[in-house]
Amino acid sequence: MEIDMVDEDHLAGDPCPFEPVVDLVFARWTSHVLWLLSQHQHMRFGELQSHIPAVTPKVLTERLRRLERDGLVERTYHREIPPRVEYSITPLASTLTPIFRTLTAWSEDHLHAVLDARDRFDQK
């Protein structure tokens, strides 16, 4: 589900009130980009791509544009020779940092239990 406009009627009847946020923030490669930008003040396209080698340049460009459109990433063009473009998270996106930290802590504390459960399930 792509979030172009929040449909309040949909949200009112949705049993999961944070679904639009999950779709927005945890779409493929989006969380990677937001996490990296939350850890670094500014990053250039090539730096982002070197940290996420599995993403294609086309998809990374699309993700960055989408995040810019959603107000989560800021693109800064520096008029230099050669031109330089940097990406950073916006103040709005920085409000997600505590959530990312909580998810990281949960992962460190509990992901092993999930992997063990998968192994037990797969052995049946």
- The whole-angstrom separation of Cα 73 and Cα 119 is 38
- The whole-angstrom separation of Cα 101 and Cα 34 is 12
Band of the pLDDT at 3, cuts 50, 70, 90? Answer: very low
How confident is the prediction for the chain on average, in pLDDT? Answer: 89
Q: What is the pLDDT of residues 19-72, one digit of tens each?
A: 888 888 888 999 999 999 999 989 999 999 999 999 999 999 999 999 999 999
Query: Tokens 């409000």, residue?
Result: 95
**Residue 43 pLDDT:** 96
Q: Read off the DSSP letter of residue 1.
A: -
- In order of their start, the domains of the chain are 8-123 (1.10.10.10)
What Cα–Cα distance (Å) separates residue 76 from each residue in 51, 83, 89, 117?
Answer: 20, 11, 11, 45
- The whole-angstrom separation of Cα 74 and Cα 53 is 22
Nearest to 27 by CA among 74, 82, 84, 65: 65
The more confidently predicted of residues 9 and 123 is: 123
**Residue 10 pLDDT:** 53
Cis peptide upstream of residue 57 (ω within 30 degrees of 0)? no
- The whole-angstrom separation of Cα 66 and Cα 2 is 10
